[in-house]
């Protein structure tokens, strides 16, 4: 195993004083191997699809939701920078692997720092600036092999089979969203089916068993959804089939719902996941893994008229461990833990004509244990927002949010203004302008590295959006944006370091004595031409031209790690019937972008650039549909041309040669699923 040997040689050749480098390499190399060699296939089916777009509406065992306006975000106060998506898109787009984070890479404004992971950079921002929400709960990194403080990894812990129509937001967010600088995943889990249903499938995310349905025939008795997944490679290894690498991971999702009365309902959500991988080579051994647990209760009120309210109580725990042994002696160990206890409330009101009011508050307690230090941090928020419709053509929304933080006797409070204006020129054209001031706490591991005085990082967003509905199922969308970031952590002494470059790796560099003196700037334009799925085909072409720059404590403006400058995506798919029970389909995706910023040997930081990125994915599937059961087989060819897109390079001073490490090479993924 090439990556394994390279990794262990790195361990032997580096001094232990370079712990940050070792911690980062610990998973970077072997998980690149995991992605390059993984023979599993993506999970390719979903029980929840759109009534107006589904090609499976003849299958009685598949749940069908009411149609929704795909050209608009679900959240009513998002006017421009955002869009809705269906869970079927996570399986439909080639290369998505049933992962919503990989799926949104097909959208304008989203960059892929490393295609072996599901990190995303939104409009030039760090992946650590992203916010994940599920059914109104904020959740930490929802991935296997995850590091605390990051938002991505290699294998998603979220089960896309349970996700309903959701929102992906890219800037100038409503006041409801806080502690975020770049983008928001606002995911919703679908309701359970009205009768018992079961699912068996195997794919990239593991071997899965799922069940759902009502507790009894009475609708008031409540319903449940449950899904369990286990690493398919580990199952093969237990059956005696050697695949060369044996990642172990498993996860479980459970959702319960019950109506308490005509207006009150109670729901519970639980997520659990654990992952572990061990690599050995002669005299060295690496073990790494992570675990996540989430539990939440939501009490909801809806008078089906003017008022809605929700009260949430939830807990989220994350753990990350790593150990390195040389000659049977432990030379490095890492154990990071964080628990979050949260309480939130939200109220919506439409009793005043032409007005829509939203207000809420939240309190979070973080119990942090990183390396040898521990601390408790309190964060609170209070927000209010109103929308007023001047006429059928004009509407405006304005809001205010207060965000606070208390850590080790250091207190910070930040007010944030949000506003947006929309003008419907006619039935085909719509124009929107939005502004938002946003603050985010630093990655928590930085606080416990002698940086407890650090304040929030601030970002001011201005977004202009234009929508043109060319014809039925066709849309042209254009966006222009400007983001100015300030109070960014940098070093006291002049250097090129900035916390804006943190977030797209398997580790977080440990720095001490940082100050909020850095700045950043993201600006660009996006253009999307899209044909929504209709008459069995869909297509989308988009382009993103942008710059992402920052200034460190040395006062020099330079490209950030996410300054790819240009991105172009093209996706399309077609499916057709063969007889009455078979469906065949194919999907293709092409992506290209400017090269990643690079540092020439002996040159300035990010003064160079790697070659441009190119990748093409192709997916084909065959589905058999009967009255109560469906079978599907699919193959997804990742990086069809086997292009070697450079991830990074390492210079060997002894040989005076560079060693190049690449992103995902050609990799066929297979899947087989059964629904009944």
Q: How many domains does the chain have?
A: 1
Q: What is the pLDDT of residue 374?
A: 94
pLDDT tens for each residue of 394-404: 999 999 999 99
Question: Given a cut of 90, is residue 88 above it in pLDDT?
Answer: no
Higher pLDDT: 402 or 243? It is: 402
Question: Given a cut of 50, is residue 457 above it in pLDDT?
Answer: yes
Question: Given a cut of 80, is residue 171 above it in pLDDT?
Answer: yes
Interval 141-146 mean pLDDT: 93
Question: Alpha helices, DSSP H only, in 397-507?
Answer: 444-447
The least confident of 117-121, 325-329, 422-426 is 325-329
Q: What is the pLDDT of residue 19?
A: 37
Tokens 């003008």: give the residue: 423
CA-to-CA dists, residue 264 to 228, 342, 391, angstroms: 29, 21, 34
Q: What is the pLDDT of residue 427?
A: 87
pLDDT tens for each residue of 583-620: 999 999 999 999 999 999 889 999 999 999 999 999 99
Neighbouring residues of 582: CB distance < 8 A, sequence distance ≥ 6:
622, 623, 624, 625
pLDDT-based confidence at 32, cuts 50/70/90? very low
Q: What is the pLDDT of residue 243?
A: 67
Interval 81-105 mean pLDDT: 88
Dihedral sign for Cα 11, 13, 17, 22, please.
Answer: negative
Domain interval for residue 306:
2-675
Q: Quick one: DSSP state of residue 77?
A: T
Question: Given a cut of 70, is residue 631 above it in pLDDT?
Answer: yes
pLDDT-based confidence at 69, cuts 50/70/90? low
Q: What is the pLDDT of residue 30?
A: 34
Tokens 């309902």: give the residue: 265
Angle at the Cα of 301 from the Cα atoms of 299 and 302, rounded to 5 degrees? 150
pLDDT-based confidence at 14, cuts 50/70/90? very low
pLDDT-based confidence at 472, cuts 50/70/90? confident
Q: In whole angstroms, what is the distance from residue 248 CA to residue 236 CA?
A: 11
In the chain, what percentage of residues exceed pLDDT 70? 89
pLDDT tens for each residue of 331-359: 777 789 999 999 999 999 999 999 999 99
Higher pLDDT: 281 or 536? It is: 536
Q: What is the pLDDT of residue 548?
A: 98
Higher pLDDT: 510 or 480? It is: 480
* Mean pLDDT of the chain, nearest integer: 87
pLDDT-based confidence at 477, cuts 50/70/90? very high
Q: What is the pLDDT of residue 359?
A: 98
In the chain, what percentage of residues exceed pLDDT 90? 69
Residue 153's Cβ-count burial label (10 Å; 0-12, 13-18, 19+) is buried
Question: Given a cut of 60, is residue 59 above it in pLDDT?
Answer: no
pLDDT tens for each residue of 36-51: 333 333 332 332 333 3
The least confident of 194-208, 242-256, 323-337 is 323-337
Return the CATH number at 241: 2.40.170.20
The least confident of 245-254, 413-422, 498-507, 587-596 is 498-507
Question: Given a cut of 70, is residue 519 above it in pLDDT?
Answer: yes
Question: Given a cut of 80, is residue 52 above it in pLDDT?
Answer: no
Helix, strand and coil content of the chain, in percent to the nearest 5, comes to 10, 55, 35
Q: What is the pLDDT of residue 299?
A: 98
Question: Given a cut of 70, is residue 536 above it in pLDDT?
Answer: yes
Interval 656-672 mean pLDDT: 91
Max CA pair span of the chain: 75
pTM (2 decimals)?
0.88
pLDDT-based confidence at 487, cuts 50/70/90? very high
Dihedral sign for Cα 22, 28, 31, 32, please.
Answer: negative
């Amino acid at each position: 195993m090439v990556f394994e040997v390279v990794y262990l040689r790195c361990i032997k050749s580096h001094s232990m004083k370079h712990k940050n480098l070792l911690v980062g390499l610990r998973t970077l190399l072997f998980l690149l191997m995991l992605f390059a060699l993984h023979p599993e296939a993506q999970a390719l089916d979903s029980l929840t699809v759109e009534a107006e777009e589904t090609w499976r509406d003849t299958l009685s065992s598949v749940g069908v939701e009411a149609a929704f306006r795909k050209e608009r975000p679900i959240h009513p106060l998002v006017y421009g920078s955002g869009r809705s998506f269906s869970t079927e898109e996570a399986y439909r787009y080639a290369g998505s692997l049933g992962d919503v984070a990989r799926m949104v890479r097909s959208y304008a404004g989203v960059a892929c720092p490393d295609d072996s992971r599901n990190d995303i950079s939104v409009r030039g921002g760090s992946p650590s600036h992203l916010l994940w929400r599920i059914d109104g709960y904020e959740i930490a990194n929802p991935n296997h092999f995850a590091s605390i403080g990051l938002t991505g990894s290699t294998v998603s812990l979220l089960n896309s089979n349970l996700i309903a129509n959701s929102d992906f937001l890219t800037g100038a967010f409503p006041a409801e969203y806080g502690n975020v600088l770049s983008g928001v995943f606002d995911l919703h889990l679908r309701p359970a089916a009205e009768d018992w249903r079961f699912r068996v499938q195997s794919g990239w995310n593991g071997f899965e068993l799922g069940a759902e349905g009502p507790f009894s025939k009475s609708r008031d008795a409540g319903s449940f959804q449950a899904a369990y997944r286990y690493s398919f490679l580990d199952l093969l290894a237990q059956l005696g089939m050697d695949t060369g690498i044996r990642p172990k991971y498993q996860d479980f999702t459970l959702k319960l719902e019950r109506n308490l009365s005509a207006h009150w309902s109670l729901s519970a959500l639980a997520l659990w996941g654990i992952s572990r991988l061990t690599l050995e080579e002669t005299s060295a051994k690496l073990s790494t893994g992570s675990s996540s647990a989430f539990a939440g209760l939501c009490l909801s009120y809806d008078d089906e008229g003017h008022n809605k309210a929700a009260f949430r109580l939830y807990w989220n725990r994350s753990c990350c461990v790593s150990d390195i042994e040389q000659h049977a002696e432990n030379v490095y160990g890492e154990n990071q833990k964080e628990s979050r206890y949260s309480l939130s409330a939200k109220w919506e009101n439409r009793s005043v004509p032409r007005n829509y009011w939203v207000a809420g508050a939240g309190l979070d307690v973080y119990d942090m244990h990183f390396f040898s230090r521990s601390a408790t941090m309190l964060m609170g928020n209070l927000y209010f927002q109103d929308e007023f419709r001047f006429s059928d053509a004009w509407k405006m929304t304005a809001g205010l949010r207060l965000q606070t933080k208390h850590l080790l006797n250091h207190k910070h409070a930040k007010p944030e203004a949000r506003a947006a204006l929309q003008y419907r020129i006619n039935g085909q054209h719509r124009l929107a302008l939005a502004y938002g001031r946003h603050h985010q706490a630093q990655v928590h591991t930085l606080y416990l590295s002698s940086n407890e005085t650090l304040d929030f990082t601030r970002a001011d967003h201005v977004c202009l959006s234009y929508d043109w509905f060319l014809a039925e199922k066709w849309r042209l969308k254009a966006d222009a944006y400007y983001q100015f970031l300030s109070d960014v952590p940098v070093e006291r002494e002049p250097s090129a370091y900035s916390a804006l470059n943190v977030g797209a790796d398997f580790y977080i560099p440990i720095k001490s004595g940082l100050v909020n003196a850095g700045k950043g700037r993201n600006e660009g334009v996006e253009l999307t031409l899209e044909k929504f799925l209709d008459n069995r085909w869909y297509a989308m072409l988009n382009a993103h031209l942008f710059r992402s720059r920052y200034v460190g404590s040395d006062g020099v403006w330079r490209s950030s790690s996410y300054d790819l400058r240009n991105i172009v995506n093209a996706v399309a798919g077609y499916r057709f019937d063969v007889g009455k029970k078979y469906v065949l389909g194919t999907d293709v995706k092409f992506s290209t972008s400017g090269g990643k910023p690079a540092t020439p040997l002996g040159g300035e930081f990010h003064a160079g650039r790697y070659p441009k990125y190119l990748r093409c994915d192709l997916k084909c599937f065959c589905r058999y549909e009967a009255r109560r059961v469906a079978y599907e087989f699919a193959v997804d060819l990742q990086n069809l041309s086997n292009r070697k897109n450079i991830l990074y390079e390492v210079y060997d001073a002894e040989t005076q040669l560079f060693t190049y490490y690449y992103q995902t090479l050609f990799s066929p993924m297979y899947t087989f699923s059964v629904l009944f």
